[in-house]
């Protein structure tokens, strides 16, 4: 983290817990306009004359469709079509910014570096150069899922699946100015975990060390999220991804669920179907957490993103293998 950004957040009474979690003092009232520091995501910059060509041959989305007003979700896969990481890809002039989990950034950097060879490409961890902050409110939602605006070295990615959300990427001085500007317009500081919670509700499939290389892109709903191109040509893992698409849809997909679990399960924990006595494993946890908000509701349930068999209406007795006493309910209206 940029030290100037950290010092600024400390001046805003932020309390740091490790490298990826910030909390503020608890709030007695809910505010639907919130401002979150985003620490669990990093920024990988890919630049140079051959940057677009390199990425086009390695990732699932079409680099040629990106503009300074259009970003895209995507996946970097291994040769077996398993997703190493998901990411948000942004085009800024001749440079590409890849927003992805910090836990996988070094792995992805090394993987992309393998394919540079003599190409004119530079791959840089720019996580200390850029600061990330999230804005969320209940008003002015748009129809498009992702679009990008860029001004004065501030990049804003608009999300709109459930509510109006913007991920802001900026250099330190502009990030500080943006933070202060939003507070002046009525936004309230919010814990960093709350942004992860909102991403989960929107079905954005961020991976971790435990879930990397476990699923193909369709199992993470990346096709529905616009993160896979079937016309761009070859890329690593493309054969498996295309075969799944053209020979019939994937047998598994991502589902939103909730439970009264006292503790959020870990990524890749096993989900069982408790319909029968032998309680067979049926799926895996991708992400799970409580809201993490400053204002805690009495009915704050644990939300989960689960990779489960597709369209099986008979799956109604889901439970965590390690906590079978707590039923898990799929949010069918989210499908």
CATH of the domain at 95: 3.30.1360.120
**10-24: average pLDDT:** 92
In whole angstroms, what is the distance from residue 254 CA to residue 261 CA?
20
Residues in Cβ contact with 108 at an 8 Å cutoff, skipping those fewer than 6 apart: 44, 76, 84, 85, 87, 98, 100
Compare 162 and 34 and report the one with higher pLDDT: 34
C-alpha closest to that of 294 among 24, 38, 17, 37: 24
- Identify whether 257 is part of a domain: yes
In the predicted model, is pLDDT for residue 145 greater than 80?
Answer: no
- Taking only the tens place, the pLDDT of each residue in 210-263 is 999 999 999 999 999 999 999 999 999 999 999 988 887 788 999 999 999 999
| Strand boundaries in the chain, DSSP class E | 15-17, 21-23, 34-37, 41-47, 72-77, 83-92, 95-101, 122-125, 130-137, 147-151, 154-159, 164-171, 188-189, 252-259, 270-273, 280-289, 302-309, 318-320, 323-330
- Taking only the tens place, the pLDDT of each residue in 49-78 is 999 999 999 999 999 999 999 999 999 999
Residues 84, 107 contacting (CB under 8 angstroms): yes
Question: Would you place residue 295 in the very low, low, confident or very high pLDDT band (cuts 50, 70, 90)?
Answer: confident
Average pLDDT over the chain, rounded to whole? Answer: 91
Distances (CA, A) of 143 to 96, 223, 233, 296, 309: 25, 18, 29, 30, 29
Residues 87, 74 contacting (CB under 8 angstroms): yes
Question: Would you place residue 331 in the very low, low, confident or very high pLDDT band (cuts 50, 70, 90)?
Answer: confident
Same domain, 69 and 194: yes
**205-213: average pLDDT:** 98
Domain coverage including residue 112: 1-210
Same domain, 136 and 264: no
Same domain, 267 and 177: no
Q: What is the pLDDT of residue 333?
A: 65
Report how far Cα 77 is from the mean position of its chain's Cα atoms.
16
Q: What is the pLDDT of residue 299?
A: 74
Same domain, 261 and 317: yes
In whole angstroms, what is the distance from residue 284 CA to residue 307 CA?
5
Q: What is the pLDDT of residue 200?
A: 95
Same domain, 99 and 27: yes
Question: Would you place residue 18 in the very low, low, confident or very high pLDDT band (cuts 50, 70, 90)?
Answer: confident
Element (H, E) at 198: helix 192-201
| Lowest-pLDDT choice from 45-49, 121-125, 273-277 | 273-277
Q: What CATH code is carried by the domain that includes residue 257? A: 2.40.30.160
Q: What is the pLDDT of residue 275?
A: 73
Q: What is the pLDDT of residue 277?
A: 65
278 by Cβ neighbours in 10 Å (0-12 / 13-18 / 19+) ranks as exposed
- Identify whether 220 is part of a domain: no
Same domain, 181 and 270: no
Same domain, 203 and 291: no
**74-85: average pLDDT:** 97
| Lowest-pLDDT choice from 16-30, 46-60, 134-148, 192-206 | 134-148
Q: How many CB atoms within 10 Å of residue 64?
A: 10
Distances (CA, A) of 276 to 26, 281, 308: 43, 11, 17
Residues 59, 81 contacting (CB under 8 angstroms): no
Q: What is the pLDDT of residue 201?
A: 93
Q: What is the pLDDT of residue 249?
A: 75
End-to-end CA distance of the chain: 37
- Identify whether 216 is part of a domain: no
Report how far Cα 183 is from the mean position of its chain's Cα atoms.
25
Distances (CA, A) of 92 to 41, 151, 177, 295: 18, 11, 20, 36
Q: What is the pLDDT of residue 298?
A: 65
- Two tokens, residue 108: 């992805």
**79-89: average pLDDT:** 97
Q: What is the pLDDT of residue 221?
A: 95
Distances (CA, A) of 49 to 52, 85, 128, 236: 8, 24, 24, 21
Same domain, 266 and 329: yes
Same domain, 6 and 85: yes
In the predicted model, is pLDDT for residue 292 greater than 70?
Answer: yes
Q: What is the pLDDT of residue 276?
A: 64
pTM above 0.75, yes or no: yes
In the predicted model, is pLDDT for residue 150 greater than 90?
Answer: no
325 by Cβ neighbours in 10 Å (0-12 / 13-18 / 19+) ranks as exposed
CA angle 87, 192, 208 (to 5 degrees): 40
Same domain, 298 and 178: no
In the predicted model, is pLDDT for residue 312 greater than 90?
Answer: no
- Taking only the tens place, the pLDDT of each residue in 156-185 is 998 865 568 999 999 999 999 999 999 999
Q: What is the pLDDT of residue 327?
A: 93
Q: What is the pLDDT of residue 85?
A: 98
**SS3 state of residue 213:** coil
Query: Where a domain ends, among 210, 234, 265?
Result: 210
Query: How many structural domains comprise the chain?
Result: 2
Query: Where a domain ends, among 186, 210, 234?
Result: 210
In whole angstroms, what is the distance from residue 291 CA to residue 3 CA?
28
């Amino acid at each position: 983290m940029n030290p100037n950004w950290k010092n600024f957040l400390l001046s805003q009474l932020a309390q740091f817990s490790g490298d990826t979690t910030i909390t503020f003092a608890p709030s007695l009232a809910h505010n639907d306009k919130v401002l979150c520091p985003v620490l669990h995501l990093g920024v990988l910059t890919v630049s140079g004359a051959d940057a677009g060509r390199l990425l086009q041959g390695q990732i699932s989305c079409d680099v040629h469709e990106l503009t300074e007003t259009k970003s895209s979700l995507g996946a970097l896969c291994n040769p077996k079509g398993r997703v190493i990481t998901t990411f948000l890809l942004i085009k800024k002039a001749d440079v590409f910014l890849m927003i992805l989990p910090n836990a996988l950034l070094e792995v992805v950097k090394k993987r992309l570096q393998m394919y540079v060879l003599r190409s004119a490409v530079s791959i840089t961890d720019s996580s200390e150069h850029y600061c990330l902050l999230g804005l969320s409110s209940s008003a002015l939602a748009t129809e498009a899922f992702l679009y990008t605006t860029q001004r004065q070295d501030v990049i804003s990615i608009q999300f709109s699946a459930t509510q109006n959300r913007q991920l802001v990427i900026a250099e330190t001085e502009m990030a500080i100015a943006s933070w202060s500007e939003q507070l002046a317009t009525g936004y309230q500081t919010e814990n960093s975990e709350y942004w992860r919670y909102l991403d989960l509700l929107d079905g954005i499939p961020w991976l971790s060390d435990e879930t990397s290389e476990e699923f193909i892109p369709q199992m993470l709903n990346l096709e529905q999220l616009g993160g896979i191109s079937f016309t761009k040509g070859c890329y690593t893992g493309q054969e498996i991804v295309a075969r799944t698409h053209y020979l019939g849809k994937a047998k598994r997909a991502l589902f939103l669920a909730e439970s009264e679990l006292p503790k959020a399960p870990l990524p890749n924990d096993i989900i069982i179907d408790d319909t029968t006595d032998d309680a067979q494993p049926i799926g895996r946890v991708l992400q799970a957490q409580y809201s993490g908000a400053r204002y805690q509701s009495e009915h704050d349930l644990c939300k989960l993103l689960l990779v489960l068999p597709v369209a099986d209406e008979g799956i109604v007795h889901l439970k965590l293998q390690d906590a079978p006493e707590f039923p898990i309910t799929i949010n069918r209206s989210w499908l």
